[in-house]
Structure formats: C-alpha cells, structure tokens
Amino acid sequence: EKVQREKTALVDEKAAMAELGSPEDRPADAKDLIKLNVGGRCFTTRRRTLTQVEGSVLEGMFSGRWDQSFELDDEGCVFLDLDPDCFAEVLHQLRLSQLTGHGEVCWGKVTPPERREPYFRAMLDFLGLAKMPTFVPHFHMLYQGLTLGDGESSVVSAGDGHKWAIGETILEAGTCVWAFKVHALANNYWCFLGVIAAGRQLNARSFCDPSSYGWACSAGSAQAECYIGGHAVHGWNGWSGFHEGDEVTMQLNVDAGVLSMKVARLPLEVFRFSGLPQGAWRVHVNLYTNGDRVELL
C-alpha cells in the first residue's frame, strides 16, 4: 500500500508539473525581478518597468520569450553591453513614468549624461524608445507664387515678391541633417534658408516670424542678413550671403537648440546659432525673384 501511495503521489506530481509546464513555457510575470549587468554596473528592476513602452526593443527583449537566450554573467545577471550611465537615465525615466502615471516619456527633452549626448540618442534609437528623426526632403506647404519643381523636393518662384516654403519633416528630437542646392538666384538678390517652428501662421515675410532662424542674401551688401528669432542681424559671424550654385548643409540639434550651416563655397567656415527654444521645427525657405529655384536634399 505504501508503494502504491508513493506511485500515485508521483503520478499526481508529474501530472501537476505537466499542467504547469516547464519554466521556459510559463508566461512571464510583470512582477518578475530582472537583474541586469549593464556595462559592468548592476541594476535590478521589474519586468513591467522594462516592457512598458509598447513596440520597443526593450519590450520585446524582456517579454519573456527570450529569457533563455540571454547572455548571463557569473552572477546570473542579464548582460547588456551598453553605457551604464546612459542606461541609468533610461531606467530612471521609465520608473518616473510609472510612478507619476504621465504616460509616454518625452525622450527628446531628457537630458543625457554629460558628454554622452550622441551615444545616448543612438542608444534610445537602438532600444526602440525614441527613433532618430528620418528626414524626408519634401516641401509640405507653399505660399502663393511658389510652385513645386521636380517632384516635391524643389521650389520655384513665379513672379517677384516674398514667398515661403515649409518642409514636410517635423524635427522635434535628436539631431537632423539636410542640404539645399541653390539652382537659380537672380543677381544673388534674395534667398532665405533656415528653420521655423512647426504650426505657425505665416505671412509673405515669414523670415520675420519670432520663431524664424536662418541666413539670407542682401544684394549689394558685404554683410548679409541673418535672422535670429525673426530679428535681422547683419553680417553675423562674417556671413556675406548665398550665391547661385551654392551647396548648403544644415544641422539642427533640437535638444541642444543649435542650428549650424556649412556652405561648400566657404570650406573654412561654419555658421551657427545657439539658444533655439525647445519645440518642433520645420525646414524654411523664402524666395523673392521670378525664376529663383532651391532644391531640398
């Protein structure tokens, strides 16, 4: 009878184990503690903290499906070859979001660890938390008197008078780079290239808007105009204006509030504005003379 009872107990135990499944088959619990070794520093957090951003790489990694595939250190912690200071800031923001219930983290406004901004932004992109802006070289809105050239990437002035074009891509986080080609600029008279805050109601002189930053021509003057918050400044840092045929590269660091410009014709010069307010931006062009044409690249 004793042997029979033991056999029965063993059968019952095996049945219970089969019903429960192996540890690999059990559904992951949001309350599970996850121990991490990130670049040599140890972190402990709950699974739900790491998986709260739907669709992110972090959510996929710690969903439970890949628990048996992780690389572990000697202490059994999941090893991630990432910068620990940057990861600590990510974990802090995820915990803060849970604590306050404010929903999604605005990663573009998170201050990265000192001297690690490029890495921090790249890591956010890698983890699927905040994608780096993908620049689409198309114009989105045109003032009357401007027409689209080839495709949606160039604009042509029809008639004289100020008129603006606004780019399609909204720049609201990270660093974005784009280029212009000044194909036609009659007498190098007038051309404004820069950025402007998204969602503004603009008149023909869009470069005077308080959110406008960029560089312009000033025919017949050795000191061309720059616009800083819509205010004209002549010859800022030696700027002398665009010429027909110019190839121009611009970079906007949204988080740092810095707009930079490089003109191929002036290989030793980099022109820069700092102090742009936090917000969402679009590429901004303003032309004047009939036939002038600028391409966005």
What is the per-residue pLDDT across 65-86, written as a single tens digit (0 to 9) for each?
888 888 999 999 999 999 999 9
* Residue 132 pLDDT: 57
User: What does the alpha-carbon distance between residue 77 and residue 64 come to, in Å, rounded to a whole number?
Assistant: 15
Q: Is the dihedral of CA 162, 165, 170, 176 positive or negative?
A: negative
* Residue 27 pLDDT: 58
The partner residues of 80 in beta bridges, in order of sequence, read 38
Q: Tell me the C-alpha to C-alpha distance, in Å, between residue 77 and each of 44, 61, 191.
A: 9, 14, 58
Q: Which residue has the tokens 């503690």?
A: 33
Task: Note whether 50 and 57 are within 8 A (CB).
Answer: no
User: What does the alpha-carbon distance between residue 258 and residue 237 come to, in Å, rounded to a whole number?
Assistant: 15
User: What does the alpha-carbon distance between residue 64 and residue 25 come to, in Å, rounded to a whole number?
Assistant: 9
Please name each of the domains of the chain with its CATH number: 2-126 (3.30.710.10), 139-296 (2.60.120.920)
Check residues 43 and 224 and name the one with the higher pLDDT. 43
* Tokens at 71, concatenated: 């690389």
- Judged against a pLDDT cut of 80, whether residue 4 lies above it is answered with no
User: What does the alpha-carbon distance between residue 164 and residue 211 come to, in Å, rounded to a whole number?
Assistant: 14
* Residue 22 pLDDT: 40
**129 DSSP assignment:** S
Sorting pLDDT into bands at 50, 70 and 90, what band is 189? confident
Task: Note whether 214 and 226 are within 8 A (CB).
Answer: yes
| Maximum Cα–Cα distance across the chain | 111
User: What does the alpha-carbon distance between residue 192 and residue 214 come to, in Å, rounded to a whole number?
Assistant: 7
Sorting pLDDT into bands at 50, 70 and 90, what band is 8? low
- The predicted model scores a pTM of 0.61
The partner residues of 226 in beta bridges, in order of sequence, read 215, 233
Helix/strand/coil for 76: coil
- Where does 150-223 show beta strands of DSSP type E? 154-157, 163-167, 175-184, 191-197, 213-216
For the chain, the distance separating the N- and C-terminal CA atoms, rounded to the nearest angstrom, is 86
